[in-house]
Amino acid sequence: MMTKLQMRRRTLLAAAPIVLAAPHVARAQTKPEKSKVILAVGGKSALYYLSLTIAERKGFFKEAGLDVEINDFQGGAKSLQALMGGSADVVAGAYEHTIRMQQRGQPIVGFALIGRGMQLAIGLRTDVAAKVKGPADIKGMKFGVTAPGSQTHMLVNNWAAKGGLKPTDIVAIGVGAGASVVAAIEKGEVDGVSQADPALTILQEKGAIKIMVDTRTMKGNQELFGGSMPAACLYAQPDLLKKTPGTAQALASGIVRADQWLQTASPADVAATVPEAFLLGDRAIYEKAFANVRDTISPDGVMPSDGPANCLKFLAEGDPKIEPAKIKLADTWTNEFAQRAGKRS
C-alpha cells in the first residue's frame, strides 16, 4: 500500500512535462572551463562578421571570462581548415559549412548566429555588366571571392546554376575581403566579385560595379530565398560543446551581446568602435553600408526556424554533391547557448 505522500508524488510526476536534457548544455558551467580560446575567421573586416569585432572591441568576451585570440584568414574555407586541422577551437564562419561538412562525414555544430540574412552581393564591373543579361552570360568569367569554397564562392555557383552553368564554367579567385576587393576590380583582375560590405558599397559609389544579386537586406533575402538565410555564426566540433559547455556558453554570450548592441547602435558609434582600417578610408560610406545591412544582423543569436532548410536548398541548387535527403539539419545547430545568453543579458 502506498502512503498518501507517495501517492501525491506519483500524481505530481505524472502531471509534470517531460523535459529532455539538451545534449550540449546539460553540464553548462557558470565559468568557462578554458579561458584562452583560439578563434578563426576569414575576412574579419567585412560587415558580415561585425558582431565578432564588436564582441572583441567592447570587451564582451572578456566580461564572459574569455581571452579570445582571433586569427584572420583570407576566407571562410581557410578558417574551416584551421578548425579541422586543430589550430583553432572555434570558427566565426558561414553556417553552410556545417551542412557541407556533415555531407563529408565530419560533423560541426553552429551555436551562435551573427547574420540571419546572407549579407553578400554579386557585382560585375560596369563594362562587363553591359554584356550580361542573365547568369547564362557569365560563362568563363573570373569572380573575386574571399576564398574558393567560401560562401561568397557558393553564391556565384548558385547564380551560375540558374543560368544552366556548372561550377567549372566560371573561375573563382580568392581576393580576400576589404581593400583587396576594391583593388581587384579597379585593376581589372576580375570580371566581378561576390563579396560583403563595405567593399561593395565603396565600389558602387565609385560607379565601378553593377549589382546583379543582392542579399544585403532582409527584403533581398526574402526575394531570393523565401525567408531568412543564415550567414555568419560561431561553429565548432561537437567536443567543444559537449566537453567544455561553459566555454561555448561564454563565446555565445559575447556574440549575443554584440548582436543586441548592434540593433540600436548608431552608424557613427559602430564606425568609431571598429579598427580604423576597416573603414577603407571612407567613414561615411562605411556608416552607410552598415545602415543598409543592419536588419540582416541577428537580433538574438538564435537560428530562425526556416534558416537551415533555406540554406540546404540554396546549397543543393549550386552543388550537385549535396544530397538533401541525407542531411540531418537538427545535427548542424543548437539554439541552447544563444537562448541561455539571451536570458542572462
298 belongs to a structural domain = yes
User: Do 339 and 237 belong together in one domain?
Assistant: yes
Average pLDDT rounded to a whole number, residues 186-199: 95
Q: Please state, as a whole number, how many other Cβ atoms lie within 10 Å of the Cβ of residue 85.
A: 9
What tens digit of pLDDT does each residue of 290-310 get? Answer: 999 999 999 999 999 999 999
Whether pLDDT at 160 is above 70: yes
251 belongs to a structural domain = yes
Domain that holds residue 251: 36-118+229-344
Contacts of 1 (CB under 8 A, 6+ apart): none
266 belongs to a structural domain = yes
For residue 324, the 8-state DSSP code is G
Q: Which residues pair with 297 in a beta bridge?
A: 115
Average pLDDT rounded to a whole number, residues 322-329: 95
Q: What is the pLDDT of residue 2?
A: 43
Whether pLDDT at 19 is above 80: no
Instruction: Return phi, psi of residue 70, to 5°.
Output: -100, 120
Which of 225, 253, 282 corresponds to the end of one domain? 225
User: Do 216 and 301 belong together in one domain?
Assistant: no
Mean pLDDT, the chain, whole residue set: 90
Q: What is the pLDDT of residue 9?
A: 36
Contacts of 57 (CB under 8 A, 6+ apart): 273, 274, 275
Q: What is the pLDDT of residue 253?
A: 98
Integer Cα distance of 243 and 222 in angstroms: 38
Q: What is the pLDDT of residue 301?
A: 98
Integer Cα distance of 75 and 325 in angstroms: 29
Confidence of residue 320 (pLDDT cuts 50, 70, 90): confident
What share of the chain has pLDDT > 70, as a percent? 91
User: Do 295 and 198 belong together in one domain?
Assistant: no
What share of the chain has pLDDT > 90, as a percent? 84
Helices 307-318 and 218-225: angle between axes, nearest 10 degrees: 60
Cβ–Cβ under 8 Å, residues 143 and 192? yes
User: Do 165 and 75 belong together in one domain?
Assistant: no
19 belongs to a structural domain = no
Whether pLDDT at 4 is above 70: no
User: Do 172 and 273 belong together in one domain?
Assistant: no
Whether pLDDT at 6 is above 50: no
Q: In the sheet where 120-125 sits, what is the strand order?
A: 171-174, 142-145, 192-196, 120-125, 209-214
What tens digit of pLDDT does each residue of 51-66 get? Answer: 999 999 999 999 999 9
Integer Cα distance of 48 and 70 in angstroms: 16
User: Do 240 and 297 belong together in one domain?
Assistant: yes
Which of 191, 225, 259 corresponds to the end of one domain? 225
Confidence of residue 286 (pLDDT cuts 50, 70, 90): very high
Which of 208, 225, 242 corresponds to the end of one domain? 225
89 belongs to a structural domain = yes
Cell numbers 555564426 correspond to 233
Q: What is the pLDDT of residue 50?
A: 98
DSSP per-residue string spanning 145-160 = ESSTTSHHHHHHHHHH
What is the number of domains present in the chain? 2
User: Do 153 and 94 belong together in one domain?
Assistant: no
User: Do 105 and 248 belong together in one domain?
Assistant: yes
User: Do 86 and 151 belong together in one domain?
Assistant: no
User: Do 221 and 240 belong together in one domain?
Assistant: no
4 belongs to a structural domain = no
User: Do 163 and 237 belong together in one domain?
Assistant: no
Integer Cα distance of 93 and 314 in angstroms: 17
Choose among 229, 210, 231, 209: nearest CA to 218: 229
Integer Cα distance of 291 and 208 in angstroms: 21
- CA distances in angstroms from 239 to 97, 107, 245, 247, listed in the order given: 17, 10, 9, 11
For residue 139, the domain's CATH number is 3.40.190.10
User: Do 93 and 56 belong together in one domain?
Assistant: yes
